[in-house]
Amino acid sequence: MAHAALVLIGTGYHAVTARRVLFIDLAPAAGGSVVSLFHLAHGLDPAQYEPIIVLSEQNPFDRFAKAGIAVVRVATPQWQPQPAGALAGVQESRVGGTMRRGPLAGPWHFAGDLRRYRRDVLPVVGPITAVIDRYRPAIVHLNDNLSLTRSGAIAAWQAGRPVVCHCRSFDPPVALDRWLLAPRLAGLICISQAVARQQTQELGSSFPSRVIPNAVDLAEFDHPGDTGALRAEFGIPADAPLVGSVGRITSWKGQHIFIDALARAGARHPNLHGIVVGAPDQSDGLAYADSLRRQAQQYGLAERLHFSGPRSDVPKVMAALDILVHSAVQPEPFGRVIIEGMAARVPVIASAAGGAAEIVSNGETGLLTPPGDVAALTQALDQLLASPEERLRLGSAGRRLVEQHYQVRTQVAAVQEFYDEMLAGRF
């Protein structure tokens, strides 16, 4: 459950017991939640808490192991392609549609939840239970919403370990989650006020909750390496303004809105270039990403809009940009890319919804535009492209905001305080 570390106290070294925290993240790809988890786990005070990580075997993220943090990978059936079974056929039928919307909708949905538990959740409980038995953590920390980490919650419950759920999205719990799993939680950490409002309403407020925003390691953005490498890689002239969209490629992130606005702004700024950085999200497959490339072709942007795919060198990407655009058409749970851009002193234009609106003060630390409003986003782009002074002002203000509120040490201290209070029984 714990290990002893030698810590210098006064004039000598003393043995201090560090408690283990088992972090569970079952996402299939290296998205923002896993990056945020890395900063948290790596930043924990080793004299107090020792991190152990459980990841999906499909997730290629490798920074934990490189940092010397123990990682165990488990198979995750929910991310495997599923054959179209008999029930799936019924769901697509007219009878299925009637069942989902009619007087039997409740039992119908509950039956579907049970099927998903049996198919996707229960097979993962055993492997996670084995990890808990091996490492005997003091805390099990679910690194995403309860609906996305059910197997970890069940395994921790069976092992009698306190569970902290770190809510990073608006993904709602189903009835079975509320009834079976929510009452087992010891506490809730939410990455924004928007997520906290939605999740506490969905899960109830019978357990302690705290809003602790995501954070960045400023050192990564202070020394990004060769800032001209990205432009050279894609043949972007050094003096051309470069506007970027960074994040998972999925329809709700609104990369199509970004391309629309880029095309309009490009009519007045013929040397303007854009870049879309990210991998297609599994929920959309390749269809949405392919539609973005067709959209670029239709607008005649083939030579000035670049698709980089996923990249691990985000600080270097940010350093090459003149403007960062966040164009989500739905509320963003937090908007990690926004504080990454700010950390690099890049002026940010963001959609005014969800966590993004909590980060950006319009006209002070960035610009906000209504979600999905191409005309407003184009106007914001024109405003910044026409004024290097405005870009410098907003970039500097964004950096100060991150220094004051979104540094890793601030986040880690808040999480450790939450752990301390929970383990001391002060909740």
Task: Encode the chain (427 residues) as per-residue pLDDT tens digits.
Answer: 455 444 444 454 444 578 999 999 999 988 889 999 999 999 999 999 999 999 999 999 999 999 999 999 999 998 876 555 544 444 445 545 544 555 545 565 667 777 888 888 999 999 999 999 999 999 999 999 999 999 999 999 999 999 999 999 999 999 999 999 999 999 999 999 999 999 999 998 778 999 999 999 999 999 888 878 999 999 999 999 999 999 999 999 999 999 999 999 999 999 999 999 999 987 777 999 999 999 999 999 999 999 999 998 999 999 999 999 999 999 999 999 999 999 999 999 999 999 999 999 999 999 999 999 999 999 999 999 999 999 999 999 999 999 999 999 999 999 999 999 999 986 6
CATH number, domain 218-405, options 1.10.3720.10, 3.40.190.10, 3.60.21.10, 3.40.50.2000: 3.40.50.2000
Helices of type H across 44-169: 63-66, 86-92, 94-101, 105-116, 122-135, 150-159
Q: DSSP code of 224?
A: -
pLDDT at 31: 86
pLDDT at 412: 98
Most distant pair of Cα atoms in the chain: their distance:
77
Q: DSSP code of 366?
A: B
pLDDT at 347: 98
Q: DSSP code of 422?
A: H
Residues 6+ apart with CB under 8 A from 327: 245, 253, 254, 255, 257, 258, 261, 349, 351, 371, 377
Please count the other Cβ atoms lying within 10 Å of the Cβ belonging to residue 253.
Answer: 25
Q: Are 247 and 279 in contact (CB under 8 A)?
A: no
CATH number, domain 2-78+123-215+407-423, options 3.40.190.10, 3.40.30.10, 3.40.50.2000, 3.40.50.280: 3.40.50.2000
- Residue 362 and residue 376: Cα distance in Å, rounded? 13
Integer angstrom CA distances of residue 192 from 148, 182, 273: 18, 20, 32
pLDDT at 7: 46
pTM of the complete model:
0.88
Q: DSSP code of 206?
A: S
Cα angle for residues 247, 251, 256 (degrees, 5° grid): 85
pLDDT at 108: 53
**CATH 3.40.50.2000-classified regions of the chain:** 2-78+123-215+407-423, 218-405
